[in-house]
């Protein structure tokens, strides 16, 4: 089983959190230390004719990290441009950048790259959505439409980037339309996770014990043939549902990097097993950009072949019966 280490990072056009100086050297060293297989980058500059040390950032980082690169230009200015990029240790088969801008004030795009991992094709979508909620919803629907049109359901999928989704409204669209999982909502808990995530884990534990206690009480009453009050019987299904379906873990806080408070960055996946997920905080990450990067490990699940899904043939079944009888 292939395990991929994946990083998603808004690099603030290669400048520090306050934009006072270049942070490309620290960024390159930090990413090199992570030993990532795939790096999803937002706000990366492809051209800068004003400050030449910030020019051609995708090629620069790819060269330092010895990775392949795909770049999608979104925002074009007179002497600069920036967009999204994917760095990959695996071969990039194909890539295309789609303009999903909702209005003239914000130029946004989604980079769709196809990466060959062993004998499987992994679809990677690097996303940077708008600042307005209505715009983000329309942009998400455009991404969903592209995925439904171009990505087969049995091929692995990763959607990562800066969603600007501080009010946490977009996850249901992806879950209902594509069947993907938000990585941090489904990852195994770590001891160093932020306090709100620990609070939810304690709530899950409490709900588990409460559910067991309620079920034991109901069994005892049924055994003793004691009828519960009618109002309790009506409320019981809702109570059981609430206790059985614990609240999902919230997305990570990634902005601002110095003191993460807003939940802006996300990663969604399909076709993987989630091993770990964390927000990289403290030095040097709190100085490199205004966002904190997220680092995730996903294990690629091998798809079931048609023959495996269909089960053994009649001949194979008869042979198995003969072997057992012998």
Give the per-residue pLDDT at 105.
84
CA 149/CA 140 separation, integer angstroms? 14
- Asked whether 175 and 159 are in contact (CB, 8 A), the reply is no
**Is 50 exceeded by the pLDDT of residue 305?**
no
Q: Return the closest-CA partner of residue 257 out of 293, 295, 292, 294.
A: 292
The residue with greater pLDDT, 208 or 151, is: 151
- Asked whether 259 and 281 are in contact (CB, 8 A), the reply is no
Confidence of residue 280 (pLDDT cuts 50, 70, 90): very high
Give the per-residue pLDDT at 108.
93
Return the percentage of the chain with pLDDT > 70, whole number. Answer: 75
The residue with greater pLDDT, 314 or 116, is: 116
Judge: domain 3-187+251-309, CATH 3.40.109.10: no
The dihedral sign for the CA sequence 27, 28, 33, 37: positive
- Asked whether 193 and 185 are in contact (CB, 8 A), the reply is no
Lowest mean pLDDT among 24-38, 191-205, 260-274: 191-205
Give the per-residue pLDDT at 32.
95
For residue range 219-249, what is the model confidence (pLDDT) as tens digits?
A: 554 544 444 444 344 444 444 444 444 456 7
CA 317/CA 301 separation, integer angstroms? 27
pTM for the predicted model, two decimal places: 0.78
């Amino acid at each position: 089983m292939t395990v991929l280490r994946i990083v998603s990072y808004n690099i603030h056009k290669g400048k520090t959190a306050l934009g006072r100086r270049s942070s490309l050297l620290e960024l390159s060293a930090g990413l090199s230390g992570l030993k990532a297989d795939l790096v999803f980058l937002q706000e990366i500059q492809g051209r800068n004719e004003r400050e030449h040390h910030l020019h051609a950032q995708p090629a620069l980082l790819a060269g330092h990290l010895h990775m392949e690169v795909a770049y999608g230009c979104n925002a074009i200015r007179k002497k600069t441009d920036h967009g999204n990029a994917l760095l990959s240790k695996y071969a990039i088969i194909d890539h295309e950048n789609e303009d999903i801008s909702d209005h003239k004030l914000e130029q946004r795009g989604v980079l769709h790259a196809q990466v060959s991992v062993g004998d499987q094709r992994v679809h990677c979508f690097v996303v940077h959505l708008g600042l307005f909620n209505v715009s983000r919803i329309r942009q998400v629907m455009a991404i969903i439409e592209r995925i439904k049109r171009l990505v087969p359901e049995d091929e692995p999928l990763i959607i990562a980037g800066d969603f600007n989704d501080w009010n946490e409204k977009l996850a249901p669209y992806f879950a209902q339309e594509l069947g993907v999982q938000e990585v941090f909502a489904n990852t195994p808990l770590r001891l160093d996770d932020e306090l709100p995530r620990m609070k939810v884990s304690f709530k899950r534990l409490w709900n588990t014990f409460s559910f067991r206690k309620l079920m034991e009480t109901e069994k005892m009453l049924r055994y003793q043939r004691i009828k519960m009050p009618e109002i309790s019987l009506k409320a019981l299904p809702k109570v059981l549902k609430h206790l059985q379906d614990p609240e999902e873990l919230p997305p990570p806080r990634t902005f601002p990097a110095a003191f993460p408070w807003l939940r802006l960055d996300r990663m969604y996946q399909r076709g993987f097993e989630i091993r770990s997920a964390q927000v990289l905080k403290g030095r040097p990450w709190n100085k490199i950009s205004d966002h904190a990067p997220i680092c995730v490990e996903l294990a690629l699940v091998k798809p079931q072949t048609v023959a495996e899904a269909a089960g053994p043939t009649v001949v194979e079944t008869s042979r198995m019966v003969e072997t057992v009888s012998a």
